[in-house]
Structure 1
């Protein structure tokens, strides 16, 4: 297994490619693909922001800790595999090609470098228009199952689980058995599809006492410091409502999970208004209650977190992963 070397150009690989442009005004990290002997590896360079203490609870360091723990636990096959992580000086040879000098007033002199497997097929966001009913059903099952077992072991909260953070890998497996508690399922991954969760920069593992300092900034806006099994699933299911080209069976399932009055809010109607944003994502806003990208005031989500008023309005009808696994939608996988 190739492990990156931050003292070398291209992290010791043959080439290093930045996967997409990065807004240097938003210190989130630089996602790259590093090739070594024709094999690609994912590398994420994450500057350490000075607004947080430089300790092992720094949000940039938490992501690697979480991914390593989830990979080693093997609770679910639907986790992007951790390989290595490194805290290195910004002057390291591998980092000289990144525009870190423009961030010098807001970052420490070190970066976190996280290495993982590279998923060449990209995300659900990239591929949703090409996915059929069988694949969709399995993707949703994989996410719900993973949330269930991770919540059972860790009281896990991802805090940013939407279709863009579901990567679509492949597998040669002809069948996977899923067992936990009184659940028993068997799935033959359609077309060799293997969905995997990714992007754990906001994640908390409450059973281990791992709480992310980033989330503490949202106290008063979203539930902070407490575990709620409904949050991630609600955020994920609602994000799917933005994808208008889902097969009808899948779309019907997604909208059946909510009473008609809330489904009206979720429906992406022909009026051109982004009504769905009111219960889905508010990606344009990280500072106030009005989303600069969609214009929705008092959006129910704030930087991937469900607002407290959403729990008051819809809490009684939000599903937990355990409840949803009992839904007839997944009977096709259920073992007697």
Structure 2
């Protein structure tokens, strides 16, 4: 049994103060990931700080036409919000591709960004894992690594980020609002998560006593031409082997803007400015989509069991871009790939 103390924060300032005062503390909102990790003795917090009552549940329009989303908005509320469905359907689609309805009802926006890898060795406390116990080794490198990363890996960790929402937010150039002892700051979604390097136990660029207060979406939502494709072992309640968020904006027959992000292949949502730039000004053709896919996947490194992911990801990128260009996004209700 894990013994811990419990505190319920009444405002953001109190939550930050409690985090700063207790080095072994963890924040809890919906608890859909943290409770599982505590059950498996992967996480052993000395104190839980309940932030579920903080006033961070609003979705509001910003002055420039974007959206400000409180960190405690439930995933289900966000996916079905009229402004999200209308302006940012890529985000709604990604959310509905993840987890189950019951989990989406409980999981918060901020918690989704902070969820930890589903690597089996991370969950198995009998095996070495640098993410769980720094310096102990990575069992996945020479182990069963079919579901593991092919991009941005290191000798210390080849785990993947499990979030579908984060992939869509990276494609949409969302901004994370953060509060901490030194005040408030913002960080681009593409910079929020870290590659493993030699410190894979550090998942994000948050400081220890900082918390997410909101996500901000820019005015451009790519509502006309988008798709989120998730390839998984079964059609429901499974994490991505490969996922792709694609968003396009056209000027006549030429692509004016392109946004791409990959999930299931790296320690963070994987993006490439070069791949996006290669599409700009070009017609929506198979050759140009193939070129973008190759740029997105350049530098991929495979292991004993996951070499198939490179070609799978390449084809998934091309299929998702085709869906986006044709304004025929992947359905999350009927998961047969169009």
Q: TM-score, structure 1 length as denominator?
A: 0.30
TM-score, structure 2 length as denominator?
Answer: 0.30
Higher helix share goes to which structure? Answer: 1
